[in-house]
Chains A and B, each alone.
Chain A
Amino acid sequence: MLQGKNMKDADIGCGIVMVCIFSFTLYESLRMPIGDVAGVAIRFYTAPGFLPAVLSIILLILSIALIIHAVVKGGNLQWLSWSSVKALIRSRVTYNVLFILGLLACYIIFLLEFMPYWLATFIFLVLFMGFFRAGRLIKISLISGIVTAAVTILFGYIIKIPLP
C-alpha cells in the first residue's frame, strides 16, 4: 500500500477520476425513464434512476471531500510531471504488475479462446513462473505439466466441472 505523501497524491488523482466517473453515472441516472412512459406513470421516487442518482451525488460529494482532505494534508499533482511518470513506468514493481495483469488478460481473452484448455493453461503457467524465475526451464515445465494434468483430470473428469 502507498504511504505518506504518495498516498495523499494518489488520493487527489483518484478523487479526480472518481469525480469524472460519478458525474457520468449521475448523467446516465438522470436519463433513465421518469414520468409517463408507455402509459405507465413513473414517479421520481420509484424511477429506476432515483437511487443511482442519489448515490452518484453522495459519491461526488465524498470524492470532492477526499480531494480537499488530501490537499489540506499536503498532497499535490506534481507526480504528474514527466520525470515522475517515467520513473514509475520504469520501476520493477510496475513492470511486474503489468506483466501479471497482461498475462492474465492474454490467458482469458486469447489462450483459452483459441487453444484447448490444457495447452493454454500449460503455456500460461510456464510463462508466469518463468517470468518470476521460479526455477530452471525444465523444473518450471515439469511443475506446469503436472499441475495442468492434475487440474484437467481432477476438475474436468473426476469432479466433472466444465473447464473454460
Chain B
Amino acid sequence: MELGVIKLCENVLTLLSSPEALLLFTCFIPIGIIVGALPGLTATMGVAVLTGMTYSISTGHTLVMLMSVYIGAIYGGSLAAILINIPGTGAAAATALDGYPLARKGEAGPTIGLAAISSAIGTIIGVTALASFTPLIAKLSLNFTSPEFFMLTIFGITISGTISSPDIPLKGWMMGLMGMMVSFIGLDKIYGFARFTYDSPNLLGGISFIPSMIGLFGITQIVSLLKEKQEIVIDAKVRKIIPKIGTIFKNWFLILRSGIVGVCVGAIPGAGEDIAAFISYDMAKRSHPKGPDFGTGVKEAVIAAETANNACIGGSIIPLLTLGIPGSPPSAVLLGALLLHNINPGPMLSIEKPFFIFEISATILLGGIFLAIFALVLAKPVSKILKIPPAIFMPIVAVLCTIGSYALNLNSFDLLIMLIFGIFGYFLSEMGYPPAPFVLGIILGPLTDENLRRTLVISDGSILPFFTRPIALILLLAIVINVLYQSRLFKKKIRMIKRKLWFRSECSDANKGYSKAESKTDNND
C-alpha cells in the first residue's frame, strides 16, 4: 500500500515536471470538453479518433492525451445538457433533467460550476478506487484460468446486454453475440484457418477495431444528428460560474455515495457512464429530502449525476487493467490504444508492468485537477461554440473520422470498414439495439473462443471444469440468474416466494404478539 502511494506520488511529480505533459493536459482537456459539449460527439468517438493518431507518440503522452479527452468529454456533455437540454454525451442525460430547469431559472452559471466541481471530485474518487483496488483485484485475477475467463466473458456480455437494453435485454445480448461473431472474421488463432474471409487478403487480419468503433459511434452520430434539421437555441445566459462552496460541503455524503456508485457501475463490463449517472440520480431521488422535487431544478440532482459519471471513469479502468475487460465503451477503445502501445491489460499486467496502474492513476488524478480549472475557465467560450450549427461541424467531424480510421494501418480498406459499421450502427440504433455490448463482443470474442477451446482440450472435451471450479461456477450462476431474471415468469415466481415469506413472517409476528397477549391475560388472571 505504502509503495503504491509512493509510486503514485512519483508519477504525479514526473508529470508535473514534464512541460510536454502539462502542454498536453492544457490542450486536450479543453478538446475533450468541447467534444463532450457538442451534441453528436461522444467520449468514445473522441478517444477512438485520437487513438489512430497516437501510434507514433510515446505511451505516457498517449495516456495523457486520451485520458484528458475522456475525462473532459464526460464532463463536457453537461454543458449542452444544462444550456440547451440536449445532453452532449449519454453520460449527461441525467444532468439535463435538473440542469436545464436550473438554467431556465437563471442559474446556468452556478449550475455549470457545480457540475464542473462535482465532475472533478468524481474523477478523484474514481482514481482513488482505481489505485486502491486494482492491485488487490490483480492478485485475485491471477487465479483466473481458462474456464474462469470463458465464464467471465459470457457474464460480461450478458450483464452488458441487460443493463444497456433494460426494456428488451434480447437486443443487448444479440448485439454482444454479434460483436463476437464479427471478431471471428480472420485467421483462427489455434489452427490458422481463415474464417469468413472469402479469400479477401484484407480480412485475414480480422476487422480493425478502431475504424469499426469510429464507424459505430462517429458515423452513426453524424447521421442521427443531421437526419432531422435541429436548431440549437441557447436562451440561458452564463454568468457567475463559481458555485457556492458551501453547497459542495453540505452534500459531502451525496458526493461520496455517488462516487462509489459510479465506481461500482464502471467496474461492470460494458455498463458505462450514462448508466452510472442514472443509477446515482435515482438513488439520490429516493433518499434525499429534496427527492420529490427532482426534475424541477434541484442542485443535488446535478451533483449526484455528475459525480457518478466521472467516478465511473476510474471504475471502468479497474476491470480493464486487471482482467482485460473494459468497463465502458470509451475504456474499450482505450484497450485498443494500450494494445497499440504494446501494453497488454489483464492478469499478467501486474507482473509485466507492476507500476503501470499508478502511471495511469496519476494521469487521471491530474486530469481531474486540470478539469476543475479548465471547466470553470472555459464554460463561457464553450457555450458560444454550442451555437455553431450541426450542418457545419458534423461534416468536419466526418473528415476527422476518416483521418482517425486511416491513420492506424494506412489502409483504405479501413475507411470502408468505418463506413460499413456506420451504416450498420445507424440502422441498428434506430431499432433500439445498444452499441455497447457489440463493442464488448468484438473485444471479448477472441478471448471467449480461445479459452473455451483451451478448456475443452485440457479436459478432453468434458465441460466439468465449468461446474467444478468455484469462480467459474459462481460466474455461471450469475449468468443464469441474470438471464432468468429477465423472464416475466421467473420474476413472478420470485415475487410469489417473497410474498409468501413476508406473509409467513407477518403471521409468525402476529402469532408471537397473540401469544404474548395471551400470556399477559393469563398472568392478569
Chain A interface (Cβ < 8 Å from any Cβ of B): 1-2, 7, 10-11, 14, 18, 25, 28, 32-33, 40, 42-43, 45-46, 48-52, 55-56, 58-59, 62-63, 65-66, 69, 92-93, 96-97, 100-101, 104-105, 107-109, 112-113, 121, 124-125, 128-129, 132-135, 143, 147, 151, 155, 159-164
Shortest distance between the CB of B502 and any CB in chain A (Å): 32
Interface window among B167-175, B254-262, B469-477: B167-175
What are some 28 contacts across the A-B interface (CB < 8 A)?
A2-B432, A11-B431, A18-B174, A33-B191, A45-B461, A46-B453, A48-B188, A51-B449, A51-B453, A55-B177, A93-B228, A100-B226, A104-B219, A104-B422, A108-B402, A108-B416, A124-B395, A124-B398, A125-B395, A125-B396, A128-B398, A143-B392, A151-B399, A161-B53, A161-B407, A163-B403, A163-B406, A164-B412
Proximity bits, B410-434, A CB within 8 Å = 1, else 0: 1010011011001100100111100
Q: Do the beta carbons of A28 and B177 come within 8 Å of each other?
A: no
**How distant is the Cα of A2 from the Cα of B433 in the complex, in angstroms?**
11
Q: Do the beta carbons of A48 and B193 come within 8 Å of each other?
A: yes
B137 within 8 A of A: no
B232 within 8 A of A: no
Interface centre among B184, B402, B430, B452 (most CB of A within 10 A): B402
Residue numbers in A under 8 Å from B177 (CB-CB): 55, 58-59, 62
Q: Do the beta carbons of B457 and A2 come within 8 Å of each other?
A: no
Residue numbers in B under 8 Å from A48 (CB-CB): 188, 190-191, 193, 195
**How distant is the Cα of A15 from the Cα of B456 in the complex, in angstroms?**
32
**How distant is the Cα of A150 from the Cα of B186 in the complex, in angstroms?**
37
Shortest distance between the CB of B380 and any CB in chain A (Å): 23
B223 within 8 A of A: yes
Residue numbers in A under 8 Å from B56 (CB-CB): 160
Shortest distance between the CB of B504 and any CB in chain A (Å): 35
Residue numbers in B under 8 Å from A109 (CB-CB): 416
Proximity bits, B447-482, A CB within 8 Å = 1, else 0: 011001100110001000000000000000000000
Task: Count B interface residues, CB 8 Å.
Answer: 58
B292 within 8 A of A: no
B229 within 8 A of A: yes
B residues 371-414 near A (Cβ < 8 Å) are 389, 391-392, 394-396, 398-400, 402-403, 406-407, 410, 412
Identify which of B190, B195, B430 contacts A1 (C-beta below 8 A).
B430
Q: Do the beta carbons of A97 and B432 come within 8 Å of each other?
A: no
Q: Do the beta carbons of B173 and A62 come within 8 Å of each other?
A: yes
Residue numbers in A under 8 Å from B430 (CB-CB): 1-2, 10
19 additional A-B pairs beyond A51-B453, A113-B412, beta carbons within 8 Å, are A1-B430, A2-B430, A11-B431, A14-B431, A32-B193, A56-B181, A63-B174, A69-B168, A96-B228, A112-B415, A128-B394, A128-B395, A129-B392, A132-B391, A133-B391, A151-B400, A161-B53, A164-B402, A164-B403
Residue numbers in B under 8 Å from A10 (CB-CB): 430-431
Classify the interface of chain B: helix, strand, loop or mixed: helix
B180 within 8 A of A: yes
Identify which of B226, B396, B448 contacts A132 (C-beta below 8 A).
B226
Nearest chain A residue, comparing its CB with the CB of B454: A46
Q: Contacts A2-B431, A96-B226 hold; do A147 and B191 have CB atoms under 8 A apart?
A: no
Identify which of B190, B394, B403, B419 contacts A155 (C-beta below 8 A).
B403
Nearest chain B residue, comparing its CB with the CB of A104: B419
Interface centre among A1, A66, A69, A161 (most CB of B within 10 A): A161
**How distant is the Cα of A52 from the Cα of B452 in the complex, in angstroms?**
12
Nearest chain A residue, comparing its CB with the CB of B452: A51
Residue numbers in B under 8 Å from A112 (CB-CB): 402, 412, 415
Q: Contacts A33-B193, A46-B456 hold; do A101 and B423 have CB atoms under 8 A apart?
A: yes
Q: Do the beta carbons of B431 and A7 come within 8 Å of each other?
A: yes
Q: Do the beta carbons of B432 and A107 come within 8 Å of each other?
A: no
Q: Contacts A66-B171, A151-B399 hold; do A93 and B226 have CB atoms under 8 A apart?
A: no
B493 within 8 A of A: no
Nearest chain A residue, comparing its CB with the CB of B418: A108
**How distant is the Cα of A48 from the Cα of B195 in the complex, in angstroms?**
8
**How distant is the Cα of A147 from the Cα of B397 in the complex, in angstroms?**
11
Identify which of B53, B178, B392 contacts A59 (C-beta below 8 A).
B178
Residue numbers in B under 8 Å from A1 (CB-CB): 429-432
Residue numbers in B under 8 Å from A45 (CB-CB): 453, 456-457, 461
Shortest distance between the CB of B181 and any CB in chain A (Å): 6
Interface centre among B171, B174, B193, B196 (most CB of A within 10 A): B174
Residue numbers in B under 8 Å from A7 (CB-CB): 431-432
**How distant is the Cα of A76 from the Cα of B302 in the complex, in angstroms?**
42
